[in-house]
Amino acid sequence: MSLSSDPSPAFWAGRRVFITGCSGFLGSWTTKELNALGATTIGLVRDRSRRFGEDDPTIVPDFIVEGALEEYEVVLRAINEHEADTVLHLGAQPIVGTALRNPRSTFEANIRGTWHVLDACRELGKQVKRIVVASSDKAYGEVDRLPYDETMPLNGRHPYDASKSCTDILAQTYHKTYGLPVCITRAGNFFGGRDLNFSRIVPGTVRWALNGERPVLRSDGTMVRDYIYVRDAVRAYLLLAERMDDSALHGHAFNFSAEQPLSVLALVEHILRVAGRPDLTPIVLGEATAEIPMQYLAAAKAREMLSWSPGWTTDEALRETVAWYAAWFAKGTAGSAPPA
């Protein structure tokens, strides 16, 4: 594991950081890392389960602000009264299937929520020194040439993809028009422990493997995706925020990727091997709709401008992931997970 681009304790110690989506998958790992670095963390939480932080109190922010991204005054008050100088906008409705069933709620959270965060920062003038907005590889939509690079247009057409295209464009707008110190991250599919959305391929497959059950693929297994370990994503986002003391970076978007795209079937087989259950043959349903066949990223810009590189190999990351879920289930905390 290479840790050459780890975040700097000297930079983060005592810094006041506002994190949207802090109780979510990416947000909880980000909060954990910032707490370890000595930052003062202020987290926006919409839905908090009774088990939030029970298995790991280090994921709980110093201050919890209860409310939704759709509530502008809540967002403004949180940033203003807690005097945050750094904003990490990670909150979103992240599930493709949820967006298909009800696009309006996804658009409200992902699009309205983004302009609320950005406009609150604009209203507060010089208080906020850096804003990192989490977009996605889905913002690119379907293109004729892969891998995606940052020069390509944003062309999301399905509901979730379109919401991330709009998120991205809004961030660029607030930088271009109002001079906000914004950078944008575009990453692939996150995986790792603490992801309790078991409809996703990694946590779902790990659970099946640990239970000795055959994985069920709703797609035909051929879709190719970009996967990035959540702890690598945290390192990337925090490194970018540190580098934003250089105003020449403001307005830039950065792809973050391990640059090892995998088909769904290949990923499932990889997980089963790491979990010690290569004997479990996946059941392939082939029922997925409104999904792009191939998506993966080039990360040359992040390597060259930020000196960022992944810290974990795919095997290392999957081993840590399987071990996290095995320990989590062993503690009897499965009650906070969705049903199979």
How much is the pLDDT for 2? Answer: 42
- Would residue 194 count as lying in a domain? no
Decide if 136 is inside a domain. Answer: yes
Residue 209 in domain? no
Q: Does residue 241 form part of some domain?
A: yes
CA dist., res. 9 & res. 34, Å (int): 9
Which candidate in 160, 174, 237, 325 is catalytic?
A: 160
For 258, counting Cβ atoms within 10 Å of its Cβ (0-12 exposed, 13-18 middle, 19+ buried), the class is buried
pLDDT of residue 50: 63
**Type of residue numbered 230:** V
Q: What's the chain's average pLDDT?
A: 93
Domain that holds residue 26: 11-189+228-259+295-311
Helix/strand/coil for 179: coil
CA–CA distance, 175 with 144 (Å, rounded to integer): 29
Count of domains for the chain: 1
In a domain, residue 269? The reply is no
Answer yes or no: is pLDDT of 182 > 60: yes
196: helix, strand or coil = coil
Across the range 58-79, mean pLDDT stands at 97
Residue 268 lies in a domain: no
Looking at residue 97, its pLDDT comes to 85
Q: What is the pLDDT at residue 333?
A: 56
pLDDT of 96 reads 86
Cis before 103? omega within 30 = no
Indicate which CATH number applies to the domain containing 240: 3.40.50.720
Residue 232 belongs to a domain: yes
Q: Which pTM was predicted? A: 0.94
Q: How confident is the model at residue 52 (pLDDT cuts 50, 70, 90)?
A: confident
Instruction: Look at residues 245, 128, 130, 230 and name the one whose alpha carbon lies nearest to residue 189.
Output: 230
Of 191, 55, 325, 58, nearest to 43 by C-alpha is 58
Least confident stretch, 53-62, 101-110, 116-125, 316-325: 53-62
117 lies in some domain: yes
Active site includes 160?
Answer: yes
- Name the DSSP letter for residue 226: -
Q: What is the reported pLDDT for 211?
A: 97
Q: Is residue 249's pLDDT more than 90?
A: yes
Predicted pLDDT at 154: 97
Question: Which candidate, 225, 200, 115, places its Cα nearest to that of 163?
Answer: 115
